Chains A and B, each alone.
Chain A
């Protein structure tokens, strides 16, 4: 079948199962936007290319399918670098198509030219500059394969205008359906080594104080059920990192919640005291380990990861297993079964009682607002959690509100938590929530955002309003760049430098309305419940609820940067309790 490169691109995307494309047209990508009109793929017109990238990420987070974005060359390509880096850090499957100046003009500093593949080389799993129209079907097929297999990640495909422009003879091609991949250097491993899995099973049977350290790889590998089986078979408690909230149900008795810099005391301390850490799809990130030399000093390590470069990168494991988390956990369960299953596990009652002692002495806590005070953000999040369905998808920005959401929400289902972990991208929440809603229109989707974050990407609420994505935004307005304010309070002698954003400018209620949303404002605790109820009733429009919160509230517990996790600082009200 004869066609032009632009038609081939749309057909290739359709053949990969793409149902929605987030993008914004411009000069170099213009020819592709014409065959788009005749395509089955829905296009969502964003207001800024960064929004397109984060929407694609949110879609991928919520569905497990690759998110796809398409933008033009030059400034559009540079605008999508942040989402690419975000997806790279958090291993999100994503394919980004960028327009490029005509092939013959590359390198001439043409209008809206930039070296897109050069700029994005270090923030993509792989990228392509396509030089011939005939390469388009194969490159798109390979791009989706690379984005979704092994350790997932973003792949960028840069397409010069001439090979998709029907008026240019270079765009003429014969369609073919690629049926294989010619990638001699790409062999994503799947199963783990069975001998190593037997060694891991033996270590588990010998451990008196084991902890399962579960990371984002659980969700990527769709291994939540396997993890539950492993935990219940062995009775081993589970911590869920920021990237794996929801990968193990918070309401399960074995769940210890989030570890790390703002993890709860029990999760942090159980890892410190453990004699075995079973790291599953986790990468010993500095926000989890604190000072590496002081991290889990008594623990042997079993480390399972699909990416061999993570094994031994930070902490030398005793058993290192490269493989897909789900397959390895399933094999581990079998190996444990051969060793006697539950019967093979030593008596861990003392360990369990130490853990429950920490849970009793050091629960998450905060003080309710006094009469003259504004709202406490933790209170708002508890109310929101209790007033929304159990399978609500929550997206967050980055900062204090993100940590409070992770701490106070009860994540009982996988793929309900959408956040920017590795890169820490402020402004992530709103576009990511839109992408999640696009992927899961049946679910209620709330974005929890801070006032600093909100101002970075609020324009995408126009996209939500006009494209029919009725997301809801809980805006925690504490008038500050709150996490930076907290660090200046704690580590810079309360010398506050450039962190005050003002309380009343912008007027968030009016702004929300101007963006096509319902705007609500809440200032007192008794208004919180009714406002959430009102927002939950609105399904034909996005809603922004501004919660006016206390500025001085800090996130606890906290492990100060560079300190050992054993030096975790608990809430001031708990500081005198015996550890």
Chain B
């Protein structure tokens, strides 16, 4: 079955939106989604390599929104420079999670085992809690969070995913004209 551009089959689409780095631009984008009835699942914002622009990575629920309208309406915002719909199969996605888990000294070892398996990082240790972070694909971060949950999650903060398209693997034929 073919997956439409930007969808992951899980009911969401990822839009990577380059905007002018000006005051109020995020409010314009968020306001547009709100007033057109489109729902944002997650949103990550950061400046780009060119300081005049910022990049927004927006995950949109596709059931709630006719994606073509979302993109066309976004494109009408004067400060929006470029929009790319990212197909998960053709892109690299990452998300950062910071999480604090209950960790009595007796079971701390089990949690550290999970940290090792996932190549997560211990950020801070308390007498009965531990704070760790993991960067990975959103599904890997989901798995890690699921495995920690039985121990008792005290606090969790996820950034929402960011993404870039995968790079071309095949070099051009050097003998081609």
Contact = CB atoms under 8 A, between A and B. Distances in A.
B48 interface: no
A122 B31 contact: yes
A117 interface: yes
Contact of B78 (A129, A186, A313): A186
B81 A118 contact: no
Given A129-B24, A185-B77, A309 B69 contact: yes
A284 to B, nearest CB: 13
Given A117-B24, A121-B31, A185-B20, A126 B69 contact: no
A122 B34 CA distance: 10
B28 interface: yes
A189 to B, nearest CB: 11
A313 B31 CA distance: 19
A76 B122 CA distance: 56
Interface in A153-191: 183-186
B72 A309 contact: yes
Contact of A122 (B35, B69, B75): B35
A146 interface: yes
A121 B27 contact: yes
B49 interface: no
B39 to A, nearest CB: 17
Interface string A98-140: 0000000000000000000110011001100100000000000
Contacts of A309: 69, 72-73, 75-76
B79 A185 contact: yes
B27 A312 contact: no
B76 A307 contact: yes
B27 A118 contact: yes
Contacts of A122: 31-32, 35
Contacts of B80: 185
Contact of A313 (B69, B79, B82): B69
Interface string A243-255: 0000000000000
A308 interface: yes
Contact of A183 (B31, B72, B76, B78): B78
Interface in A479-518: none
Given A121-B27, A122-B31, A312 B68 contact: yes
Contact of A185 (B19, B31, B72): B19
A461 B64 CA distance: 48
A196 B82 CA distance: 24
Given A117-B24, A185-B20, A308 B79 contact: no
A146 B78 CA distance: 9
A364 B72 CA distance: 40
Given A118-B27, A121-B31, A184 B81 contact: yes
Contacts of A308: 72, 75
A125 B78 CA distance: 8
B117 interface: no
Contacts of B78: 125-126, 146, 183, 185-186
B23 interface: yes
Contacts of A146: 78
Nearest to B70: A309
Contacts of B77: 185
Nearest to A151: B76
Contacts of B20: 184-185
A557 to B, nearest CB: 32
A146 B28 CA distance: 16
A129 B25 CA distance: 12
B127 to A, nearest CB: 43
A129 B73 contact: no
A184 B69 CA distance: 21
A183 B22 CA distance: 12
A307 B68 CA distance: 13
B23 A129 contact: yes
Contacts of A126: 78
Contacts of A185: 19-20, 77-82
14 contacts: A121-B24, A121-B31, A122-B32, A126-B78, A129-B23, A129-B24, A146-B78, A185-B19, A185-B20, A185-B77, A185-B80, A309-B72, A309-B75, A313-B69
Interface of A: 117-118, 121-122, 125-126, 129, 146, 183-186, 307-309, 312-313
Interface of B: 19-20, 23-24, 27-28, 31-32, 35, 52, 68-69, 72-73, 75-82
List the 9 closest pairs (A to B, CB-CB), nearest first. Answer: A309-B72, A185-B81, A126-B78, A185-B80, A186-B78, A184-B81, A122-B35, A309-B73, A308-B72
Given A118-B27, A125-B78, 7 more contacts: A121-B24, A122-B32, A122-B35, A184-B20, A309-B69, A312-B68, A313-B69
